[in-house]
Structure formats: structure tokens, C-alpha cells
Structure 1
Amino acid sequence: MSDDVELFKKTLGKRVARLRKEKGYTQAELSALINIDFQSISRIENGKINPSAYLILQIANALEVEVGEFFVR
């Protein structure tokens, strides 16, 4: 994959982790809210997978943040 994609995945993952922790959720709790396995949350936060737009929306809704929070510089 290109460096841009790798950077995007890592940056997105860090933001998901930060916002999840700010809301006081564990990976397991967040995954239960959006009905996915907690390993998927771990892989997102570690920049291992590129989540779909729909999954990003689900995460944002569960964390009660705007989707744009994941993309702000």
C-alpha cells in the first residue's frame, strides 16, 4: 500500500483510540455498541485495517462525536 494509505490508517486509528479513551470505553465496550468483534477495534486503532465509511460512522455515533473528529488535522 502507498505511504499515504498507511499514514491515514495509523492517524485514524490513533484518533479512534484517543476518543474512545476520552469517553471511558474499553475496546470491548465500544465493539459491543456497534456489534463487531473487539479485535476489529484493536486492528483499527493499530492502523492494521482501513475501516469502511459506514464503520467509521458507527464508531462516531457510538462515541457521540462528529465523523469529522477523525479527520481533523
Structure 2
Amino acid sequence: MTNDLEIFKKNLGKRIANLREAKGLTQAQLSALINKDFQSISRIETGRVNASSYLLKQIADALEITMSDLFDF
């Protein structure tokens, strides 16, 4: 079970990084849009943390995508 969660976090993080880069944003720019430090974005994109649904919604809004777009991997 833990292994599945780790894989999911890494896949979600890669998806967020790809979407961010497609928008031409740096981690610092995305973090500024959602009022978080850039290390938070780094930890999410590398799968080191479980992001809350609220934080994922903030990221989706900042990237101008839907929540379901985040999970399209």
C-alpha cells in the first residue's frame, strides 16, 4: 500500500511539473501565485509530501486547469 502511495505522489508531482513548465512558469512563480514558498512546490513535484486537496485546487487554478486535469496521468 505504501509503495502505491509513493508511486502516486511521484506521478502526480511529475504531472504538476509538466503542466507548470507547459505554462512557462518556474517553481518560484507558481508558488507566488498560490502564496506558498517554492520549496513547497519542489516537495510536491518530487513526491515528497501529500498535498491537500485545497492546495491541489490552488495549483489547478493557478495553472488554469481543472482538478481532473491534474490526475490525467
Q: TM-score range by the shorter chain?
A: over 0.9
Distance 1:47 1:69 in 2: 18
1:29 maps to 29
Q: How many residues align?
A: 73
Show structure 2 runs of 5+ residues with no match: none
TM-score relative to the length of structure 1:
0.95
Q: Tell me the secondary structure at the aligned position of residue 24 of structure 1.
A: coil
Runs of at least 5 residues in structure 1 that lack an aligned partner in the other structure: none
RMSD: 1.0
- Could you tell me how far apart the structure 1 residues matched to 2:71 and 2:19 are? 12
SS at match of 1:35: coil
4+ residue runs of structure 1 moved beyond 6 angstroms?
none
Q: Distance in 1 between matches of 2:52 and 2:45?
A: 14
Task: Give TM-score, length-normalised by structure 2.
Answer: 0.95
Q: What are the equivalent positions in structure 2 for 1:3-42 lying under 5 Å apart? A: 3-42=3-42
